[in-house]
Structures are given as C-alpha cells and as structure tokens.
Amino acid sequence: GAVVSQHPSRVICKSGTSVKIECRSLDFQATTMFWYRQFPKQSLMLMATSNEGSKATYEQGVEKDKFLINHASLTLSTLTVTSAHPEDSSFYICSARLTPGQGHGGYNEQYFGPGTRLTVT
C-alpha cells in the first residue's frame, strides 16, 4: 500500500525558533496534501490543504504567516512553524491524496503519515 512518511517524528525546540516538518509520499504522486493538528485526546483539525505548485488554502483561524506550507513537488510538502511558542506544541499529522483520476471509480484514497510530536519549551 501507499506510504506517507514524516520527518522528524519528534522535535523539541525553544520558544522563538522555527521548525520544519517534512511530509513525503514515498511511492505515489500526491497532487494534494493536507496538514492536521491534534491536541491530546482530541480530534484532528484540518489546518490547510496544499496543492502542488500553488499556494496552500488555510482553514479559518489558522495563521498562514505562522504556519508556512510549501508543496514544491508531487511527493513533498513541508510545514514550517515560525517563531514557535509553547501553545504551538501539538501532534502534527500530514496526509497525501492520490492525484484525481488515479483512484478507483472516481474515488482517490487519502493516506496519513505517522505524525510529528512538536514540543516548544
């Protein structure tokens, strides 16, 4: 099956610094990638939808200048948390979707990465 990787799996950074999280689709091309944030024992909240070669679409309430998303290729999207603060500490999960038309009967599968635990001290 299709695999999505994230790097790093865990990161600890100091307040005020920036941290970059990578999301890769290892064996398929993903026109669209998604970034989710999850607080402890809570649901996944969609932060932004990233389309290859274009600007990401952010959900309401998500600061685009704080959470920079770059989807430079069909297999790589990055999320950079700029000027991180302790309240940014969370579990960040990316997801990649098959390019439309590659799926079965119009449905295109969405695959999830293993997540990145960010702790800001």
Partner 1 sequence: AQSVAQPEDQVNVAEGNPLTVKCTYSVSGNPYLFWYVQYPNRGLQVLLKYITGDNLVKGSYGFEAEFNKSQTSFHLKKPSALVSDSALYFCAVRDNRNSGYSTLTFGKGTMLLVSP
Residues that bind partner 1 (CB under 8 A): 6, 32, 34, 41-44, 46, 49, 91, 93, 95, 100-101, 103-108, 110, 112-115, 117
Q: How far apart are CA 35 and CA 23, in angstroms?
A: 9
CB of 63 to partner 1, least distance (A): 19
Is there a cis peptide before residue 8, judged by omega within 30 degrees of 0? yes
Task: Find tokens 């600061």 and name the residue.
Answer: 63
> Smaller CB distance to partner 1: residue 81 or 93?
93
CB of 38 to partner 1, least distance (A): 9
Asked whether 74 and 30 are in contact (CB, 8 A), the reply is yes
> Smaller CB distance to partner 1: residue 32 or 78?
32
CB of 58 to partner 1, least distance (A): 12
> Smaller CB distance to partner 1: residue 3 or 18?
3
Those residues whose C-beta lies under 8 Å from the C-beta of residue 118, and which sit 6 or more positions away, are 11, 13, 19, 21, 81, 84, 88, 89, 90, 91, 92
